A = this chain, B = another copy of it.
Amino acid sequence: MKAEIITIGDEILLGQVVDTNSAWIGQLLDSLHISIQQIVSIPDHKDLIYHTLSEASRRSDLIIVTGGLGPTKDDVTKETIASFFNTTLVKDEKVLEHVKSIFEKFGNGRAMPLMNYGQADVLACSEVLFNDVGTAPGMWVEHEGKFFVFLPGVPFEMKFLMENRVVPKLATYRAKEAIYHAHVITMGIGESFLAEKIADIEDELPSHIRLAYLPKLGGVRLRLSAVGTDFESIKKETEQFAERIGKRLSDHLVARKDVTIEEAIVEEFTRTGLRLAVAESCTGGLLAGSITSIPGASAIFDCGIVAYHNRIKEQVLGVQEEVLRDYGAVSEQTVIQMAEGVKKMSGAQYSIATSGIAGPGGGTVEKPVGTVWIAVSGRFKTITQVFQFRNDRQINIERSIAQALNMLWKLYRQDSVES
């Protein structure tokens, strides 16, 4: 089954929101072995919606449309799709009751705005996908042998409807073509060096298995994708190739499945009963957040101190006044004391400390914007590294986090060999 995603809304084209819905749907469909041909974002314009729907239905079997179902006047989607399917809009009583009940609950006694009545209008030819978590219902339409799904753009409503309404319906129309993905997650080696190391294995790959390099800050994720008729046989074949590649890259291997380094750390630390604490300056809480975002993180994450100012570095982390005075907050000596300080005050075996000048302000000739010191303290020693990133605050923070996690992973692996 071939699928396609259409996202409707000016706000995406203007860059005011990042389209995270499509990536989420992409992962979900991929896990169902449904391949996505195309993702397209278009504005709230009648003609473009019509044209895009008709193009998509020529190419694909399943068309998922998100956005354009809100109550306000910028939404022209429903009328346009009604005309596309040559049908009308009808009031759905169950949806209307639901919309009313939400307003009774959250409206603070105010009457429901008239335009919300329109949210109960659905395509006469559609099956309503009842939205328990919001006011805009989803719709499922079968038209000329193709499936169309219309969902609100609010991410958690879209996710609710995909998981609880769309996936169960799709299960009844399973694709005949099987797809299998195997993963080799690496860090600390560049894309082209990595490719040279495994060139001979790559050359052996049969035409129905493709290898993709997905570079990310700090590492490269390899994905082997196979298509075939028999799921079990392509799975076995693909995993054999992935296993060989993983062995070849063992010095840089993080995992043999599709996980992030954050997930790998949480999993490994949970398995081995280790705990982590962090002391952050330039990463401002986001290093802690990268770990605490992972389900189950509370088993391994102890505490984090965002010490933006020297007083906290001294008071809470025990960094010496003389060290801050003589070397400055952005220095090897300071990050060592921060890392060792937070480890000591917590119950953690491992700790990370960051201190740097994220920018855009705060740079000096000696320590320009992008200078970041990182220390990782483990069971046997404390390691440090200095980085010189560039000018963008957001990127400097992201790269600092990626490097900090890479350093942690490396030290953890060394320690595991030693212990």
| B70 in contact with A215 (CB, 8 Å) | yes
Chain A: interface size category: 35 or more
Q: Does A39 contact B (CB under 8 A)?
A: yes
Q: Whose C-beta in chain B lies nearest to the C-beta of A294?
A: B393
Q: Do the beta carbons of A39 and B13 come within 8 Å of each other?
A: yes
B39, B43, B215, B285: the one contacting A289 at CB < 8 Å is B285
Cross-interface CB contact of A345 among B112, B221, B315, cutoff 8 Å: B315
Let me know if A301 and B284 touch, CB within 8 A.
yes
A13 contacts B26, C-beta separation under 8 Å: yes
Contact at A113–B316, with CB atoms within 8 Å?
Answer: no
State in angstroms the CA–CA spacing of A212 and B8 once bound together: 13
> Which of A39, A43, A107 has the largest count of B CB atoms less than 10 A from its CB?
A39
* Complex interface residues of chain A between 282 and 312 (CB less than 8 A to chain B): 283-289, 291-293, 295-298, 301-309, 311-312
Whether the Cβ atoms of B308 and A305 lie closer than 8 Å is no
Interface residues of A in 1-38 (CB under 8 A from B): 10-20, 22-28, 30, 35-38
Which of B39, B72, B202, B306 sits near A40, CB closer than 8 Å? B39
Cβ–Cβ contact B293 & A284, under 8 A: yes
> Does residue A73 face the partner (Cβ distance < 8 Å to B)?
yes
> A72–B192 contact, CB under 8 A?
yes
Taking CB atoms, residues of chain B closer than 8 Å to A116 are 192
Is A362 an interface residue, CB under 8 A from the partner?
yes
Please tell me if the beta carbons of B393 and A193 are within 8 angstroms of each other in the complex: no
Nearest-CB residue, chain B, relative to A36: B13
The smallest C-beta distance from A212 to any residue of chain B, in angstroms, reads 5
Smallest CB separation, A139 vs chain B (Å): 20
- A36 with B14: CB separation less than 8 A: yes
CA distance A211 to B106 in the complex (A): 25
Among A80-88, A152-160, A405-413, the stretch in contact with B: A152-160
- Chain B residues in 8 Å Cβ range of A107: 193
Given contacts A15-B27, A156-B390, A285-B286, contact A72 B345 (CB under 8 A): no
Whether A195 lies near B22 (C-beta < 8 A) is no
Contacts of A258 in B (CB 8 A): 16
Task: Check A72/B306 contact, CB under 8 A, given A284-B301, A390-B156.
Answer: no
The docked-state distance in angstroms from the alpha carbon of A202 to that of B258 is: 48
Which residue of chain B has the shortest Cβ distance to A38 in the bound complex?
B42
Asked if A20 contacts B17 (CB within 8 A), the reply is no
Q: Which of B11, B192, B361 contacts A113 (CB 8 A)?
A: B192
Residues in B whose Cβ lies below 8 Å from that of A70: 191, 213, 215
> Which residues on B sit within 8 Å (CB–CB) of A223?
10-11, 14, 16
Rounded to whole Å, the gap between the CB of A373 and the closest CB of chain B is 17
- Residues on the B chain within 8 Å of A280, using CB: 285
**Which residues of A (226-256) have their CB < 8 Å from a CB of B?**
none
Min C-beta distance of A243 to chain B, whole Å: 20
In the assembled complex, the CB of A388 is this many whole angstroms from the nearest CB of chain B, namely 12
Q: How far is the CB of A368 from chain B (nearest CB, A)?
A: 15
Q: CB within 8 Å of B: which of A98-121?
A: 106-107, 110, 112-116
Known contacts A74-B210, A301-B308, then 16 further A-B pairs from the complex at CB < 8 Å, ordered by chain A residue: A14-B223, A15-B22, A15-B28, A16-B26, A17-B216, A37-B42, A37-B48, A44-B212, A155-B395, A278-B285, A285-B288, A292-B306, A293-B397, A303-B308, A304-B305, A311-B346
Q: Which residues of A are interface residues toward B (Cβ below 8 A)?
A: 10-20, 22-28, 30, 35-44, 48, 70-74, 106-107, 110, 112-116, 133, 154-156, 159, 181, 190-193, 195-196, 202, 210-216, 221, 223, 225, 258, 278, 280, 283-289, 291-293, 295-298, 301-309, 311-312, 315-316, 345-347, 359-362, 390, 392-395, 397
